[in-house]
Amino acid sequence: MEALNLYGIEDLRYEDTPKPMIEKDDDVIIKVKSVGICGSDTSRYKKLGPYVEGMTFGHEFAGEVIEVGKSVTNFKSGDRVVACPTFSCGNCHYCREGHPTRCVELTVIGARNPGAYAEYTKLPEGHVKILPDSIDDDTAALVEPSAVVAHGFYRASITPGSSVAIMGVGSIGLLAVQWAKIFGASKVIAIDIDDHKLKIAQELGADIVVNPMKENAEGIVKQHTDELGVDLAVESAGSPITSEQVLALPKKGGEVVFLGIPYGDITLKRYYFEKIVRNELRILGSWNALSAPFPGKEWNATLHYMSTGQLNIKPMISHRLGLQAGPEIFHQITNKLSDAVKVIFHPGK
pLDDT single digits (tens) 269-286: 999 999 999 999 999 999
- Element at 195 (helix H, strand E): helix 195-203
pLDDT single digits (tens) 325-340: 999 999 999 988 888 9
pLDDT at 263: 78
Mean pLDDT check: name the lowest of 46-60, 88-102, 177-191.
46-60
pLDDT at 239: 93
Compute the distance between CA of residue 6 and CA of residue 41 in angstroms, rounded to an integer.
10
What value does the mean pLDDT take over residues 54-59? 96
Compute the distance between CA of residue 190 and CA of residue 169 in angstroms, rounded to an integer.
7
What percent of the chain stands above pLDDT 90? 93
pLDDT at 232: 98
Compute the distance between CA of residue 51 and CA of residue 125 in angstroms, rounded to an integer.
24
Predicted TM-score of the model (pTM): 0.96
Q: Give the pLDDT band of residue 264 (cuts 50, 70, 90).
A: confident
pLDDT at 50: 78
What value does the mean pLDDT take over residues 235-259? 97
Fold classified for 148-285: Rossmann fold (3.40.50)
Instruction: Write down the domain spans for the chain.
Output: 2-142+313-345, 148-285
pLDDT single digits (tens) 8-18: 999 999 999 99
pLDDT single digits (tens) 131-169: 999 999 999 999 999 999 999 999 999 999 999 999 999
How confident is the prediction for the chain on average, in pLDDT? 96
Q: Give the pLDDT band of residue 47 (cuts 50, 70, 90).
A: confident
Strands 86-87 and 107-108, sheet pairing:
antiparallel
pLDDT at 261 over 90: no
Fold classified for 2-142+313-345: Quinone Oxidoreductase; Chain A, domain 1 (3.90.180)
What value does the mean pLDDT take over residues 108-117? 95
Strands 342-345 and 128-130, sheet pairing:
unpaired
pLDDT at 49 over 80: no
What is the three-class DSSP state of 270? helix
Compute the distance between CA of residue 222 and CA of residue 141 in angstroms, rounded to an integer.
36
pLDDT at 109 over 90: yes
Compute CA 337 distance to the chain's CA centroid, rounded to the nearest angstrom: 22
